[in-house]
Structures are given as structure tokens and as C-alpha cells.
């Protein structure tokens, strides 16, 4: 599932995802400038001025990317071996007309937008089996499976109830915003909110929450977009979790859903029906720098390869494994993966793809997740812990941080872990590209991963001999520490040192990494 932040649904209770400093492009800045705690890209690129860089390919495995965005079109990867739109696999890689990348979510009957969660898919398959059996007369093997099925059913019912409750909350917020607009000539703004008389205690609470949200710098149109996104995603989850997810997939994509070894399916519709998330991610990494429009991406010499494999809902292991292999085989040096889930029935296939990437010197950067969980206790998938017992050395796991110093520097939603989250990177109120030449702020570890990918890309551009584990090591070694205690995500009062929340005990900083590699750091 895309790791964008749906916590806007809870803003009526808390707006802790906001931050007081309103600084565009803060993710590129150095911590020495006004305590912003960005990745230090501006200073790093100054230090590297005059040094030759190598163009590298960064694969964004995501929901899709708008390849024609004004701030991205010049940094989108173009397959040199493919002639556009001739219906021929010119480079013989198995994918026809993959000019800017590939989608594993499309086929002759369209493109997948919504998918069920992985838990729902598991439940549906098991339920189809046991609904046809007399559960009082099961074989020994089926009896064991039935015990597990009951656990799955219980978890599924809990998940469904939560989704329905969240959708109800979102619907209430959406209705409230509509009421404010109707009372204000169709416009949502601070004045309209001030003049609107709440109709009940719930609306009164929402009005207070909106005041706080606006005070933290959230623009009315951004708020409205976030609510629409959340409502759309939750409506899709509730709907598709009740459907036969596999049959819908088979009709649209046309692949053999349960054949994890199948590779050549999909289409070249790299933007897909909802590319907001992937476009936002791509902009953080590589939006054109210093072109006097939009934003500055972190890296200065990369090409974005678009690999569509993440729907609204949970991604399939088969698609992720194939997406990683596609990226590696077509020249990617870094793969950004801003998604995750808590069930992985075909983890082996993903593990093998991760190992394949490591064998080809490809670095993978993954978002830690937005559930305020301790990853040391509960890991999301995919992860660097392979079923073989090996730990992938080409893997970086990233939590989300906010701009300004203080106890709330870690995103209140961010997963953390002294052993499993490598460091924190900018992931709160990140302003970046979205489809149709637009821009908006998003929060989540989905934003922290590309902030790190941009930093790692600078390292690989200018120090191309470094292997993935060496890139990770230098970023870990040079992470910026923080002395004061920080609020632990998901808690009300608990505070810990940053070294207790991540492996490196700091925030990623490519300026420090570059100085280390150039021998400029003081001994």
C-alpha cells in the first residue's frame, strides 16, 4: 500500500502532522540553516561544483508518474532501445513499447486503480475453499489450515471494521467541508470557516480542528485534496475487499494471478489512473533544479524510470518482484519503494528479486511505514530479512522527520526501530509535484524514502565506484545526531533519544556524506 498519509481523517482530534515552519523545499536544505534538518543537498552540490558526475537511473516503483509534468519531463528516463508506439519489442526485453518504463497493473482491458488488501485476498481464497467443505469432517491437514483460516477471518473482520469506521470519519469531514463551502459561495477558506455555525457537537469539534490545521500552514485546497484522496482510497478498500480480487485482476491484466514465475504481462501505461503518489515521489528525488518553476529536486543528474506496480490497496508480491527485476535489467542504480504491507504470501519471490538487485549493485530504499509502529517488534513487507536467513546489504529503511528542531521532529505517524529503521529523513509537509503540472504538500515515510533516494543518488552520481552497501555505510556514518529527547510516534508522552529510535541515531545528510568521501571532514 502506498505509504502516503491518510491521518488527515483524524485531524478533528489531532493535527500533529503539521509543522510551524512554512519553508518550501526544506528537504534539500542543510541542518545548519535555521535548524531545518533537511538532507543538505544544496551544500553538498556546492562542495561538488566542478566535479564530474555520472547520470544514473533511479527507478520509482509506485502508482505511476506523470511523464509530461513541467518539472519532470526533462528528467524522465527514455529507453534507448525502444521505438515509441510501433507495437514492437525493439530491444527484445519482453516488454513492448516500454519507452519510459512499464506497468504491471495494466492489460488489454484497462488499468488497475483499486485493489483489495493482501489480508482480504488471503481471506477470500481460504474462504472459497472452506465454504465448500464440511468443517466438522476435515482431514488432518485441512483441520490445521482451518485453524489458521479462523485467525485470518478474525483479522480480516477487524480490518474491515476499521476501514469502515475510517471511511465514516472521512465522509463526515467531507460533508462538513461541503457545508462550509455552501455557506461561503462555494469557496473553502479561513473566512468561510470562521463564519460557519456548526450544526452539532461533531461539527464544532471539526471547526476547532480546521482552525488548528490552517494555523499550522495547511492550505484549504490542500486539505480538500487530502480528504478526497483519503475518501477515494478508503471507498476502494471497502468495496474491493468484498469482491473476488483475483478475478478482477485476471480480467484487467490478463495474467495468471497465482503464477509468481510469470514475468511478461502488463502494458506501457506508466502514468495509470492515479499517479499522484508516484509523481510526488519522483519530484522529491529529481524535479528539475533551478529552472524557475515548481521545486528543486534533491539530485541533479538522474533519470527517473517509471515502474507501475502499486495500486490503491495492497501491491502484489509478484508485481513487486517483477518490478525490481525490470528496473535492474534496464539499468537502474537505485530503486525507490514507497509502499508496504503486513502480509506477504509470496515473500520468496520478492526476496529473490532483492538478492538479484544486490548482485547487480542496485541500491533499494524503502519507506518504513506510517502506522507509528516499532519495526523491531513488527516488520512490514518487503524487508531486508530474507527467508534464507540472509540480510540484504543493499537495503535502506527510512523513517520520516519534520523540519524544525524540537521534541516532535519525528513524524507522529512514522514507524521507527533501533534495529530496523536506519535513519530519519524529511517526510512531513513535503511540497512536490503532482499530475497536470500541479504541486502540493504530502506527508509520510513515502516522502522520507525519496528524500533519502535523492541523497543517495548524489553519492552515486559523483562516487560511482561505491557499492550499495558502501553508500548505505557512508550515509549511516554521517547521519546528523540530535541530543534532546524526541517524542516516540504513537505515544502521548513517551520520549527517547534518537539513537533508541533508529540504527544510526540521526538524520540523513548528504552534505556530510560528500565531505566524508572527499576527505573534508575533520578527523
Domain boundaries, the chain: 26-109+261-517, 118-238
Within 10 Å of residue 94's Cβ, how many Cβ atoms? 13
Cell triple for residue 76? Answer: 524522465
Cβ(412)–Cβ(429) under 8 Å? no
Least confident of 190-194, 286-290, 354-358, 370-374: 190-194
158-211 tens-digit pLDDT: 999 999 998 998 898 899 999 999 999 998 888 888 889 999 988 888 888 777
For 26-109+261-517, the fitting CATH number among 3.40.50.2000, 3.40.50.200, 3.40.190.10, 3.30.390.50 is: 3.40.50.200
pTM across the whole model? 0.92
Q: What gap in Å lies between CA 169 and CA 204, rounded to an integer?
A: 14
69-116 tens-digit pLDDT: 999 999 999 999 999 999 999 999 999 999 999 999 999 999 999 999
Cell triple for residue 79? Answer: 529507453
Contacts 24+ apart (CB under 8 A), 257-262: 257/316, 257/318, 259/318, 260/317, 260/318, 260/321, 260/346, 260/349, 261/349, 262/318
* pLDDT category of residue 214 using cuts at 50, 70 and 90: confident
Residues making up the chain, counted from first to last: 523
Q: Is 321 helix (H, G, I), strand (E, B) or coil?
A: helix
- Taking residues 359-365, what's their average pLDDT? 98
Cell triple for residue 165? Answer: 469506521
Percent of the chain surpassing pLDDT 90 = 77
Cβ(4)–Cβ(229) under 8 Å? yes
Q: What gap in Å lies between CA 422 and CA 484, rounded to an integer?
A: 19
Amino acid at each position: 500500500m502506498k505509504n502516503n498519509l491518510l491521518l488527515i481523517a483524524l485531524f478533528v482530534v489531532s493535527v500533529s502532522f503539521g509543522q510551524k515552519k512554512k519553508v518550501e523545499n526544506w528537504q534539500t536544505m542543510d541542518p545548519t540553516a535555521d535548524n531545518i534538518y533537511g538532507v543538505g543537498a544544496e551544500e553538498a552540490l556546492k562542495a561538488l561544483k566542478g566535479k564530474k558526475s555520472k547520470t544514473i537511473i533511479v527507478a520509482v516503483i509506485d502508482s505511476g508518474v506523470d511523464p509530461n509534468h513541467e518539472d519532470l519531463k526533462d528528467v524522465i528516463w527514455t529507453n534507448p532501445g525502444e521505438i515509441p508506439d510501433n507495437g514492437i519489442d525493439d530491444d527484445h526485453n519482453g516488454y513492448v513499447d516500454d519507452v519510459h518504463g512499464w506497468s504491471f497493473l495494466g492489460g488489454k482491458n484497462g488499468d488497475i486503480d483499486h485493489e483489495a488488501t493482501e489480508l482480504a485476498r488471503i481471506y477470500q481464497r481460504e474462504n472459497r475453499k472452506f465454504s465448500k467443505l464440511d468443517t466438522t469432517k476435515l482431514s488432518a491437514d485441512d483441520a490445521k489450515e482451518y485453524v489458521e483460516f479462523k485467525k485470518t477471518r478474525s483479522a480480516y473482520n477487524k480490518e474491515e471494521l476499521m476501514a469502515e469506521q475510517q471511511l465514516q470519519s472521512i465522509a463526515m469531514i467531507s460533508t462538513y467541508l461541503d457545508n462550509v463551502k455552501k455557506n461561503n459561495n462555494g469557496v473553502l477558506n479561513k473566512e468561510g470557516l470562521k463564519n460557519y455555525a456548526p450544526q452539532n457537537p461533531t461539527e464544532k469539534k471539526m471547526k476547532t480542528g480546521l482552525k488548528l490545521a490552517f494555523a499550522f500552514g495547511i492550505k484549504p485546497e490542500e486539505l480538500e485534496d487530502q480528504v478526497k484522496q483519503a475518501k477515494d482510497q478508503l471507498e476502494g478498500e471497502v468495496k474491493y475487499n468484498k469482491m473476488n480480487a483475483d478475478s478482477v485482476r485476471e480480467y484487467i491484466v490478463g495474467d495468471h494471478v497465482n503464477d509468481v514465475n510469470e514475468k511478461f504481462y502488463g502494458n506501457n501505461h506508466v502514468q495509470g489512473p492515479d499517479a499522484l503518489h508516484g509523481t510526488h515521489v519522483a519530484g522529491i528525488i529529481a524535479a528539475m533544479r533551478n529552472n524557475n518553476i515548481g521545486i528543486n529536486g534533491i539530485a541533479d543528474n538522474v533519470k527517473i524510470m517509471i515502474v507501475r506496480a502499486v495500486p490503491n490497496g495492497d501491491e502484489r508480491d509478484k508485481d513487486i518482484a517483477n518490478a525490481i527485476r525490470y528496473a535492474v535489467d534496464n539499468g537502474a542504480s537505485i530503486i525507490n519503494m514507497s509502499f508496504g504491507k503486513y502480509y506477504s504470501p509470496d515473500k520468496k519471490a520478492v526476496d529473490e528479486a532483492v538478492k538479484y538487485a544486490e548482485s547487480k549493485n542496485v541500491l533499494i530504499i524503502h519507506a518504513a511505514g506510517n502506522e507509528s509502529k516499532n519495526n523491531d517488534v513488527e516488520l512490514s513487507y518487503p524487508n531486508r530479512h530474507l527467508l534464507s536467513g540472509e540480510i540484504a546489504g543493499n537495503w535502506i529503511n527510512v523513517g520520516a522527520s519534520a523540519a524544525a528542531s524540537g521534541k516532535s521532529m519525528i513524524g507522529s505517524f512514522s514507524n521507527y526501530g533501533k534495529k530496523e529503521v536506519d535513519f530519519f529523513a524529511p517526510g512531513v509537509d513535503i511540497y512536490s509535484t503532482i499530475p497536470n503540472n500541479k504541486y502540493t504538500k504530502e506527508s509520510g515515510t513515502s516522502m522520507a524514502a525519496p528524500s533519502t533516494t535523492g541523497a543517495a543518488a548524489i553519492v552515486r552520481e559523483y562516487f560511482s565506484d561505491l557499492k550499495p552497501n558502501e553508500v548505505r555505510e557512508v550515509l549511516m556514518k554521517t547521519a546528523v545526531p540530535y541530543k534532546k529527547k524526541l517524542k516516540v510516534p504513537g505515544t502521548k508522552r513517551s520520549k527517547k533519544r534518537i539513537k533508541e529510535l533508529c540504527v544510526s541515531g540521526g538524520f540523513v545528510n548528504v552534505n556530510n556524506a560528500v565531505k566524508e568521501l572527499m576527505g573534508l571532514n575533520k578527523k
